[in-house]
Amino acid sequence: MDEGHSGGCQCGRVRFRVEGALGRASICHCRMCQKAFGSFFAPLVSAPAGHLSWTRGEPAWFHSSNKVRRGFCSACGTPLAYDWGGPALELSIGAFDEPERIPPTIQVGLEHRLSWFSRLAGLPTRTPEEQARADGFFADIVSRQHPDHDT
Ligand SMILES: [Zn+2]
């Protein structure tokens, strides 16, 4: 059984692998994480030092504060890592090939959690007619996204 976890950015220029078990999986609602991900929160999981290897390319880094730097793909912009200088690097859960295997177990940064966050899962979905139009658009799409596996 494969205990490792692989992932990478959307264009495939940067790929990583973590051997063995991952650490804590979280979502962070803080304003810096919202901005860094261009999203409502940051989903991050810790990768113990020595267990993480960049198997293709390496991220570029932005020092978002005096204590933290954030890694991203300089070609496609995918947020990839959060490094606070500790014994483990945090990796973006959504960048893993199989994010379904990494359910968050805690949420932090609650002071900036958006007021409507808890209602997201209850949002309405497309009507069958709207879905049919969307399916038409996507029927002949040609993806340039890296596949969710090492080639
Ligand atoms: Zn990329």
Residue 142's contacts (CB-CB under 8 Å, 6 or more residues apart) are none
**Per-position pLDDT tens, the chain of length 151:** 457 999 999 999 999 999 999 999 999 999 999 999 999 999 999 999 899 999 999 999 999 999 999 999 999 999 999 999 999 999 999 999 999 999 999 999 999 999 999 999 999 999 999 999 999 999 999 999 999 998 7
Ligand 1 centre distance from Cα of residue 60 (Å): 10
Ligand 1 centre distance from Cα of residue 33 (Å): 19
Ligand 1 centre distance from Cα of residue 116 (Å): 31
Rounded Cα gap, residues 122 and 61, in angstroms: 36
Domain 5-138 fold is 2.170.150
Ligand 1 centre distance from Cα of residue 57 (Å): 9
Domain ranges across the chain = 5-138
Are the C-beta atoms of residues 5 and 150 closer than 8 Å to each other?
Answer: no
Ligand 1 centre distance from Cα of residue 86 (Å): 25
